Amino acid sequence: MKQSRVYVAYTGGTVGMTRTAEGYAPAPGLLDRLMREVPQLGETPVPAFDVHEYPELLDSANMRPEDWNYIAADIAAHYAAYDGFVVLHGTDTMAYTAAALSFMLEGLDKPVVVTGSQIPLCEPRNDARDNLIDALIVAGHHRIPEVCLAFNGRVLRGNRAVKLKSAGLGAFESPNFPPLAELGIDIVVYRERVLAPARTPFRMQRCGSAPVAALRLFPGIPAEFLRHIVQPPLAGLVLECYGAGNGPVRDTAFLDVLRAATDRGVVIVDVSQCLQGSVNLDSYAAGSALARAGVIGGYDMTVEAALTKLLYLFELGLSPDDVKREMQRDLRGELTRPE
């Protein structure tokens, strides 16, 4: 393998935490010391790497869009000097950050691998060591020119990943797209699944200032509750619907609220509450009525991908109609349109 160098952006998360009286918490300087005590991190095939510890180490429950902008700008500032990038991150909002970065890092032709752990590296038995090693090897030696998420021996497309388990080591799944790579006895990269390197120059696009929200439907949801959600200045809403994209269309007041909001220019994207499968608003009358109210289908996008994509598209200054069009177009492998 050629000599390569990886930039590690350490944002916080369980991987570098230590025990405190209040529970696990980030500890400045601890991760660097612990990593120097792991002999495998200095051996082949682990590439050379530089760790940049962020000034404020976050539990990822505190992550906000401005933090995504900070991470993306950090990668952009070091993009020319490194062969790949690893983002060390807490697991709670890791799927949101991976999805956001996939849209924000335009023209990507190097790996950006997001990882972390369920057990801190300071513990004798942990998953942090293997996740770190896997992420570094993928970032340094395997040409996967997209934002991906490496966890528990698998590499998932970042904007397809969801956190499925709060306690298990296999915390993440990609319900509607198979893994990009698996790291077992051998490292297997499924090249036919990996996006081609971008043909446009790399650039970083900020996101996160538009007022958007996500709302999960539940039986009996009042139309008045929805009305409060879609009031100005809301620009976009991810509506988590039932099954193939269905909603409570017997409630005409509910439909009226949706119609009034979309007529004002609010972009409402229908995604499924089911982990697997795709939204098809033509399948049932309970879905087609939503479409007539101006709601658009998000196909098989995750909530994380749909929300961060809305933030990205509005930041580009697009009109609501253009945002609707782009939401239904595959930009970074985040959705599959039916044939």
Binding residues for substrate: 60, 91-92
Amino acid in position 279: V
- Can you read off the two tokens belonging to residue 60? 């990822």
| Residues in the chain, overall count | 339
Burial 87-119 (b: 16+ CB within 10 A, else e): bbbbbbbbbbbbbbbbbbbbebbbbbbbbbbbb
Distance linking the first and last C-alpha atoms of the chain: 40
Q: How far apart are CA 335 and CA 339, in angstroms?
A: 13
Which of 91, 97, 302, 308 does the annotation list as catalytic?
91
Q: Which position among 14, 93, 262, 308 bears the catalytic label? A: 14
Non-local CB neighbours of 190 within 8 Å, separated by 6+ positions: 178, 179, 180, 181
Check if 262 is active-site: no
What is the DSSP-derived secondary structure letter of residue 49? E
Whether 14 sits among the annotated catalytic residues: the reply is yes
Amino acid at 73: A
What does the DSSP 8-state code read for residue 195? P
Alpha helix segments (H runs only) across 234-302:
252-263, 285-292
Rounded distance, CA 296 to CA 306, Å? 12
Contact by Cβ (8 Å): 176, 300:
yes
**By C-alpha distance, which of 322, 121, 110 is closest to 235?**
322
Catalytic residue numbers read 14, 91
